[in-house]
Amino acid sequence: MKGLKVPKKMANDIIKMLADGSVLNRDYRIGRDHEYVYIPLREEAVVPEIEGAELVDHEFEESRRSPANFTEILKSKIPEDALASIRRSFDIIGDTVILEIPLELHDYRFIIGEAALEFTGRKAVYMKRSGVKGVTRTRELELIAGSPVSETIHREYGSRIKVDVKDVYFSPRLANERERVASQVKDGEVVLDMFAGAGPFAIAVARHGRASRIYAVDINPSAVSYIEENARLNHAEDVIVAVEGDVREFLRDRECFADHIIMNLPGSACEFLDDAIRAVRDGGVIHYYEFARDFRTPANRLKEAAKPFTVEILDKRRVKSRSPGVWHIGIDARIRKGDPLNQEKKVKLFRAAAKLDSPV
């Protein structure tokens, strides 16, 4: 094929000059021998005269360019209209990939899975068969490529998080959020994660090394097993306390003990606000999450639930998109309960109000 033969000492300058136009054929690799460099050219390219350079016919090797995304691999394998419907984003959790494939493309799921396997180099690709559901917060997954590996170790900011993606919910997309919350914990503070999963928030807090105690609670027995294992993996077993069961039961006899309370259960965390407000210390911070269209709804809900205490909104943010127009919203709120005597009166009022509001 068409190429340009140039002395080695001139090669870099000539390549830079030709790269500005549509002359180089980037589908092929530049060749070399002891004296010359061979630059692949497009057949239609018009090359200016360059002293010391010579147009030649040369056999070039094809360039092995990595695809920009896994849909490039699918271009010749599924119809073009189907290709346009494929979601290019996916979750990588350790050695596993989790895809969301539209129902109309399920017939192509194994082809799509093989493309994702090739693109990511992971061991297993799963397709979501359901959303996160039930009190244990799990989802149905179907293996569509690779080996049936569901237990894996995910690495995040230097931490190792072991999880079985079939048995415990975990989102790698919250890595920055976990780091942001963990960085707020000060020396000697107590942290409560009310819906801990495999313990990624707890591990992030422990890695910062400032918390004196981290209570990681989950109702899913599999999740609690992974909290314990992840505490050992990350040398945090002395600070992380894994608790299995309903967080309401855990908090029944505990009041005003936590400096930070993490409520990352955006679909139903609002149902546990009374418990969290009772458990937080005066001046403590609740990290509250909710699916909402705007900040106003979750912020007002939090303020209403905290009455008669004072709520100071420290931060509000869109953590990630949930669906068109709906966001995973995060609110950091400081709860002021006042001086000890006044605080005791307010707690009694709060308890009385909670009893009146609770169903018989």
pLDDT confidence of residue 8: 93
Residue 269 to residues 11, 82, 199, 262, 273, Cα–Cα distance (Å): 63, 37, 17, 10, 7
Residue 279: is its pLDDT beyond 60? yes
62 pLDDT band, cuts 50/70/90, is: confident
Q: Give one word for 323, left, alpha or beta, with left for phi > 0 and alpha for psi -120 to 50.
A: beta
Residues 49 and 79 in one domain: no
Q: Is 213 helix (H, G, I), strand (E, B) or coil?
A: strand
Q: Is residue 188 part of a domain?
A: yes
Question: Is pLDDT at 209 greater than 60 in this prediction?
Answer: yes
How far apart CA 201 and CA 208 sit, in angstroms, is: 11
Residues 225 and 82 in one domain: no
Is 154 part of a structural domain of the chain? Answer: no
Establish if 217 belongs to a structural domain: yes
**What average pLDDT does the segment 147-158 reach?**
96
Q: Note whether 86 and 141 are same-domain residues.
A: yes
Q: Say what the pLDDT of residue 20 is.
A: 58
Tell me which residue range forms the domain holding 49.
2-57
Q: What is the pLDDT of residue 192?
A: 99
The token pair that represents 75 in the structure block: 């271009």
- Whether residue 64 lies inside any domain: the answer is no
Q: What is the DSSP string of 113-143?
A: HHHHHHHH--SEEEEE-S-SBTTTTB--EEE
Chain segment 309-356, per-residue pLDDT in tens: 999 999 999 999 998 999 999 999 999 998 654 555 555 555 555 555
Does residue 53 belong to any structural domain of this protein?
yes
Q: Confirm if 301 and 290 have CB atoms less than 8 A apart.
A: yes
Strands 326-336 and 310-323: antiparallel
- How many residues belong to the chain? 360
Predicted confidence at residue 23, as pLDDT, reads 83
pLDDT of residue 326: 96
For the chain, percent of residues with pLDDT exceeding 70: 92
